[in-house]
Amino acid sequence: MNSRKIYKKLDDASRDRIVEMAWEDRTPFDAITDQFGLKEQEVIEVMRREMKASSFRMWRERVQGRSTKHRVSSEVDDGRHKCSRQRAISHNKVSKR
């Protein structure tokens, strides 16, 4: 399936969540595949379309050699899909304590 079709089949909330998960350093691409059925290359295409060019280049540079973005080479393998220190986000507002 080409990247344009993949992009169009995602709703806004799904695209936002994919970007959020891809931006998080400790969330592996495999977790995105498990939840949304997108391969790493498809996630990269979504990120390319959703981000400014400079932000995309910065993100790609940061994740390219990162072992935590790939479950096979990651030392973190406890089934989590997000960092334990990440706060729950609801309707774009950080939850209060």
Per-residue pLDDT reduced to its tens digit, 19-67: 999 998 888 999 999 999 999 999 999 999 999 999 999 999 988 877 7
Task: Tell whether the model's pLDDT for residue 18 goes beyond 70.
Answer: yes
Is pTM beyond 0.85 here? no
Residue 23, phi-psi category: left (phi > 0), alpha (psi -120 to 50), beta (remainder): alpha
Q: Which has more confidence, 87 or 43?
A: 43
Task: Tell whether the model's pLDDT for residue 14 goes beyond 60.
Answer: yes
Pair 63, 69: CB distance under 8 Å: yes
Q: How many CB atoms lie within 10 A of CB 22?
A: 23
Residue 90: pLDDT band with limits 50, 70, 90: low
Distance (Å, whole) CA 68 – CA 66: 6
Q: Which has more confidence, 88 or 54?
A: 54
> What domain range is 36 assigned to?
3-94
Calculate mean pLDDT across residues 2-26: 84
Kindly state the DSSP code that residue 71 receives in the 8-state scheme: T
Residue identified by tokens 């979504």 is 46
Q: How many distinct structural domains can be found in the chain?
A: 1
Choose among 88, 49, 97: nearest CA to 22.
Answer: 49
Q: Which has more confidence, 35 or 89?
A: 35
Q: Which has more confidence, 23 or 75?
A: 23
Which H or E run contains 9?
A: helix 3-9
